[in-house]
Structure 1
Amino acid sequence: MTNVSKELLAATSVPLILSVLKRGESYGYELIKEVKEASGGTLQFSDGTLYPILRKLEERELITSEWRIADNEKRRRYYNITNKGKAQLKQEKKNWEFLNNLLGTLWTPKKTSLT
């Protein structure tokens, strides 16, 4: 099992959360569950990590939230991505593709000349 550092998880939290919300509205526990399942159990947000990020995303108008009563009669806060959030996700994807390609290049051994 891969051990992902807290720093890397923090750096990826915005694109991870926005990616989940682009699929449809969700609430906190469901977001945690979806990331955990998609990562094969490797990545898991704690409540203490997730909710401050959600608040910051809402302050930046990348997501909206709304309190509702769920089918089980519990109050839940549902989150949705905004158009601004979709644009941010598009930029995040470009940034991560660039970094992934850069790391792939740097991790590939240099060819040496045999002259």
Structure 2
Amino acid sequence: MKIDKGLLGGSTVLLVLSLLKEGDRYGYEIIKELELRSDKTFQFKEGTLYPVLHRLENKGYVKSYKAKGDTGKERLYYQITGNGKNQLAEEKKKWELFSVSVNKVIGGETHAFI
């Protein structure tokens, strides 16, 4: 099932920062990991992800640096910052409130579906 871009847009920062909290990654690696972990529900294009990464960098939530990858090719890696970790905590709170509230409306439940 294809996910509405409006739904995805509201959770992109949460998803990207969550992956970067686990470790530094380059853009294509983020795209592939999101696709893998979501069973192909989240299929970002480079033209979608890189503007998000640039916005996060401009806000001080991530920083980028060049380094050689496993293949020896130089890549631009992204690393979460202290401010990014704080923002991730805020994004998680917002997501929890949102998902619990939606589930109350659509299913009458007080907790998010698991």
Q: Deviations over 1:5-44 (max 9, x none)?
A: 1111211110000000001110011100110011011111
Aligned to 1:5: 4
Q: Deviations over 1:49-78 (max 9, x none)?
A: 000110000000000100122232322001
Identity value in percent: 43
Q: Distance in 2 between matches of 1:62 and 1:54?
A: 9
Aligned counterpart, 1:112: none
CA distance in 2, matches of 1:36, 1:25: 17
Q: Report how many residues are paired.
A: 108
Amino acid in structure 2 at the alignment position of 1:7: G
Larger Rg, first or second structure (1 or 2): 1
Structure 1, unmatched stretches of 5+, are: 110-115
Which residue does the alignment assign to 1:62? 61
Partner of 1:19: 18
Runs of 5+ consecutive residues of structure 2 not aligned to the other structure = 109-114
Distance in 1 between residues matched to 2:107 and 2:21, nearest whole Å: 33
Paired residue type of 1:64: K
TM-score by length of 2: 0.90
* RMSD (CA atoms): 1.1
Shift of 1:108: 2.8
TM-score by length of 1: 0.89
Show CA shifts across 1:79-98 (max 9, x none).
Answer: 11001000000000000100
| Equivalent in the alignment of 2:35 | 36
Aligned to 2:99: 100
CA distance in 1, matches of 2:61, 2:35: 22
| Divergent runs of 4+, >6 A | none
